[in-house]
Amino acid sequence: MEDANSANPNRRKKADSSTDTQDLEITDIQQLHDDKVQTSRCVRIDQRHRSASSIFYRSIDRSGSEMVIRVYVASSSGSVAVKKQQQAVVGFLEANRIMFQEVDITIQEDQRLWMYRNIPRDKQPETGNPLPPQIFNQDQYCGDYEDFFQSKENNTVFAFLGLTQPSVKDSES
């Protein structure tokens, strides 16, 4: 339902009930990838539930499909290091309000096998299977914890995830 009073033609307001509203702001962004102009759509969602509000950033491709960040984790890992790495990735995404899906490979055999098959050969360990966390954007492999950590250190996490970095104006609102 369009909000006629809105100054921004890209802003939509949807009322789910008397206590929940959802504002959407959609911005088309063009990027140059491998000598091709790629248009993506960045959606800013402002959800208000009673008095709390949170803003999440997610990316939508040209066809209007949401680009889903998936973090493959193991809920029952015996390794403290793996647990801390998983918490670091998930915590960063939550703190930066980046929409993602957490996939537990210990209870979803088909997802575990999919993850193993879709990690590039050069990123797989010489022996054994790749350890979580592993990060994907849709079916595109982004990297493991080490890659994520390096992108965080270089302040390139949005590029690492294949997302458009929100402008300073968006992150301040």
Q: Is 6 within a domain?
A: no
- Any domain includes 63: yes
As a whole number, mean pLDDT of residues 124-142 equals 96
Q: Which residues pair with 38 in a beta bridge?
A: 31
pLDDT, residue 123, reads: 94
Q: What is the DSSP string of 26-46?
A: EEEEEEEETTEEEEEEEEEEE
pLDDT of residue 66: 64
Residues 74 and 23 placed together within one structural domain of the fold: no
Determine how many CB atoms are found less than 10 A away from the CB of residue 2.
10
pLDDT tens string 64-95: 556 689 999 999 999 999 999 999 999 999 99
Is residue 79 located within the same domain as residue 58? no
Same domain membership, residue 131 and residue 58: no
DSSP helix/strand/coil, 50: coil
The C-alpha atoms of residue 133 and residue 69 are separated, in whole angstroms, by 12
Chosen domain end from 67, 88, 106: 67
The chain-wide mean pLDDT, for the chain, equals: 74
Residue 40 and residue 118 share a domain: no
Top-confidence residue, 98 or 11:
98
Last residue of a domain, one of 48, 67, 86: 67
Q: CA triplet 105, 110, 115: central angle to 5 degrees?
A: 60
Domain tally, the chain: 2
CATH number for the domain spanning 77: value is 3.40.30.10
Within a domain: 171: no
Q: For the chain, how big is the Rg over CA atoms in Å?
A: 18
Identify the domain boundary among 28, 50, 67.
Answer: 67
Q: Is the dihedral of CA 152, 154, 160, 165 positive or negative?
A: positive
Which stretches of the chain are DSSP H helices? 80-95, 109-118, 145-153, 157-161, 168-172
Q: Is 89 contained in some domain?
A: yes
Encode pLDDT of 7-39 as tens digits.
444 444 444 443 344 444 444 444 444 444 444
Structural domain boundaries enclosing 119: 69-161
